[in-house]
Amino acid sequence: MNVSVPASPSPRSVWAGVQLERITVGWMTLEAVVAFGAGLVAHSLLLTAFGLDSVIELISGGVLLWRLTLQANGACLTRVEVAERRAAWVVAGALGLLCLYILVSSGVGLVRHTHPATSIPGIALALLAVVGMPLLAWRKRVLARQLNSAALRGDAACSLTCAYMAAALLIGLLLTGLFSWWWADSLGALALLLFLVPEAREALAGARAGKAACACGEDDCTD
């Protein structure tokens, strides 16, 4: 499904899209730093994996921000296509490696009975993502309809996926902290694969087709 941008999209709508992507990039940067740092301190595979996925989403959001900014400034989008294709392969490869990392690390953690520490920053981060990401996804979908943008619609799906992953993260961290269920961290990380594997497959399919790097269930990310 190829969706083209309207000949004369509303400048206000385009700039609104830019602002949403700036929020997304800023949040993903904070999310990656907090989750990855807290994961290392607490020895939590679940938090570390969430942080690594945030880095991948940051790459995707950054490409879309660049594209929308060029459009808002009236520039030709042709020169962005090469960067989008390269980013698509980077994201697809990174997601594949992340899935492998979670699978292997979770297996090792379960065998060795790894006991992660309780992470208050991780719980707070997950709570914020569970509340904020669905609201951000809803706004992106509304704006995507106004701009007729498949790329922004795909990024909205990414934001919603982030909320699901945050919910899985929150459950795993609470089970570990409240009941000292050491295995909840590794099982929670494995649960993330329910979201990451489809993302990786969509990203790989998009990269092969030369599409933009915004997977998460959308068939086409080309504006």
Question: pLDDT tens, 26-64?
Answer: 999 999 999 999 999 998 988 999 998 898 888 878 888
pLDDT value at residue 80: 66
pLDDT value at residue 213: 44
Sorted by where each begins, the domain ranges of the chain are 11-208
- The label of the residue with tokens 């498949």 reads 150
Both tokens of residue 123? Answer: 């719980």
Model confidence over 130-145: pLDDT tens digits? 999 999 989 988 988 8
pLDDT value at residue 77: 65
Task: Identify the CA nearest to 214 among candidates 74, 23, 21.
Answer: 21
At 220, is the pLDDT very low, low, confident or very high (cuts 50, 70, 90)?
very low
Model confidence over 122-180: pLDDT tens digits? 999 999 999 999 999 899 889 888 877 777 787 888 888 888 889 989 999 999 888 88
Distance from the Cα of residue 194 to its chain's centroid: 14
